[in-house]
Structure 1
């Protein structure tokens, strides 16, 4: 295949990632805001946020095996149709019951899409760190655009129109899925048809750094979710509009974009282990600082620092996971990684929702920041060379 064609396919995959992330991350803070407007308590909002992670926590490895068996194209079709359904249900039935149903479905179907894109891009021709960095930067761009446009849409047009708007982005992504030929999804060394034998992907957790990378990935992801879920509640308590809250969330995502541009250079200069350690330290300190001010400008600066800290955790741990995984079983191992991620996303809101219901929103940030600092200590990784799994 001509180089120009390969590059074009890569950019189409990146555009798909952008569209999915605009919809997914644009609507997640709206779920919290709308539930709050319906009179839901902080504890109930915690349960609502947790519902997004339930099915992925339970089924991520199985979805990864299906990905290895049937390929990324089929799984992306399946997942995209499900995401559209999840977005439209609360439009038709705008109540708490269908907010929960929507989040259950959204968590499951976005898993099918995200793992498929991760595996496809992670095995694309070229340097894996650079490809994943580009993929992650585009995801951060979606995290930046999503809360910004959907926050203002919520302010001016309300919850239902905002979700219809989000569905239009997913529909555009579905058109792009149709535009790619089946062979475009398998340009790298990974092909459908995983051979599992009697072994389990969980055996690979005997590798200490891989185990730490997965734990770290879970810490980073639940922290991002807590910020998206509870900063709108904190900001509303300060009298901030949905637009201003969306702007601050977008600033955090914008810093994630900026810092990921330096991923390749930072890894080569300092090693993956040291960079991962610093991401947790910065993020933990930023979380602790959030409830210490009520000034929007200072909160925006702290959000920028938090975005920089969290921005590298996910792509660095993703590259490490792919490097340690046999190509024919990468879907399964990526699913295992997402089990850690979604497990933390599921459990953390229950824990922090209970804290918020008992002591208010501020302690949520203090406790989360403290846990991240502890995590920085217990997940210190060596800078030993990473084996490329065969």
Structure 2
């Protein structure tokens, strides 16, 4: 298959996968309510999607490195298919726990495997461009998934699980036909950097983190994920306190999502203007300024402008950090370094609502945006000092 068509295929499958996951997740608590779950049980069911994968990420990356991405993609999407069938066939709370746990583990494998495969198939000097497009398609799936899931569930929530399961089965068949004969030994691997640890028989997680520039690339991703969860959790509460309607809140969050998606389609062109770490520095810097400026004025038009600029900044930073992690990875270890990055994201995702929940309780909502802005601002300078590490590693 033509390399560009293969890259497009990976992007399209990532789009379908994200649409399936994001379309199902809002339906899980609704199904749990139908099964008479308490609010505490609903929280546990939601947590089962991400709790176990947090501890399995590095192992998943190791398996992907050993058995190659195609196997993990096919097995992962097939597991998603079966996991979504479970609540449809056995509508009981214990089965919902099992379904979400399997779904979360499979999702982890798929995300790492898609990114790892893309890193293998794409030459190093073109990774920023194609990872930007990959993130664009992923964002599209994340935006459309809940809408499609909501439409399907109008008749029955169970139908949503069944239909998305069937779509996932079709994606599995497509991947089996297209990816099964693909060799992962591509020229893209030839450019993987050597490091001072190259003599080691096997890299451990901390060995990979200690590679010059790696910790800062992973930190950049964590800064973005941490801030994104602040935006999703506390920005709606802030807007509500200012009298914004639910429609306006949804529109502002959608504007942020659309800006994130749009900027990724021109990521390759933006990087012709400056080095990756310089662009990453600027994107984190302006995101921090936007967060700090959110409470400055009470105007829907003003908040729309801030959300657009903020979405562009955070939307650009995430794929840039992903490419940095892959480029810094020793040959044969990109799956594991991507897994460490995802683990960092999950930690940031968990820490964000907890820490800022305490802060909002003590000092209110407005200071949250100043603090988050300051963290992003400081993080931008921390990441900037990694410039040049990728080439020297």
TM-score (norm 2): 0.77
Bigger RCO (CA 8 Å, 6+ sep): 1
Q: Which residue of 380, 384, 389 maps to 2:388?
A: 384
- d(CA) in 1 for partners of 2:82 and 2:61? 22
Give the superposition deviation at 1:215. 0.8
SS in 2 for 1:183: coil
Residue 81 of structure 2 contacts residue 169 of structure 2 at CA under 8 Å; is this kept in 1?
A: yes
The residue correspondences of 1:277-288 to structure 2 (distance < 5 A) are: 277-288=281-292
1:334 is matched with 338
Aligned position for 1:12:
9
Inter-partner Cα distance in structure 2 for 1:114 and 1:203 = 23
Report the CA distance between 1:338 and its aligned residue: 1.6
- SS of the equivalent of 1:341 reads helix
Cα RMSD of the aligned pairs, angstroms, is 4.0
Answer yes or no: is 1:123 the counterpart of 2:120.
Answer: yes
Residue deviations 1:325-379, cap 9 Å, x none?
Answer: 1221211121122221222122223323444566766665554334323322333
How far off is 1:151 after superposition?
Answer: 5.9
Q: CA deviation at 1:111?
A: 0.9
Residue 8 of structure 1 deviates from its aligned partner by 2.6
Among 57, 60, 66, the alignment partner of 1:60 is 57
Larger Rg: 2
Q: Secondary structure at the match of 2:387?
A: coil
**Which residues of structure 1 form unaligned runs of 5+?**
none
Counterpart in 1 of 2:184?
186
Which residue in the other structure is 1:173 paired with? 171
Q: 2:68 aligns with which of 66, 71, 75?
A: 71
Cα deviation digits, residues 295-316 of structure 1 (max 9, x gap) = 6555443332221011111211
Could you say which residue in structure 2 is the equivalent of 1:206? 210
1:65 CA drift (Å): 0.4
Residues 228, 218 of structure 1: CA spacing in aligned structure 2 closer, same or farther, 3 A cutoff? same
- Compute the TM-score of the two structures, normalised by the length of structure 1: 0.78
Aligned residue runs from structure 1 range 303-382, under 5 A: 303-355=307-359, 365-382=369-386
Aligned to 1:132: 131
Work out whether residues 28 and 229 of structure 1, in 8 Å CA contact, stay in contact via their aligned partners in 2. Answer: no
Alignment of 1:140-155 (within 5 A): 140-150=139-149
How far apart, in 1, do the equivalents of 2:165 and 2:78 lie? 10
In structure 2, relative to structure 1, the CA distance for the partners of 1:171 and 1:54 (3 Å cut) is same
Distance 1:5 1:131, change over 3 A: same
Return the alpha-carbon distance in structure 2 between the equivalents of residues 310 and 12 of structure 1. Answer: 25
Q: Distance in 1 between matches of 2:142 and 2:333?
A: 29
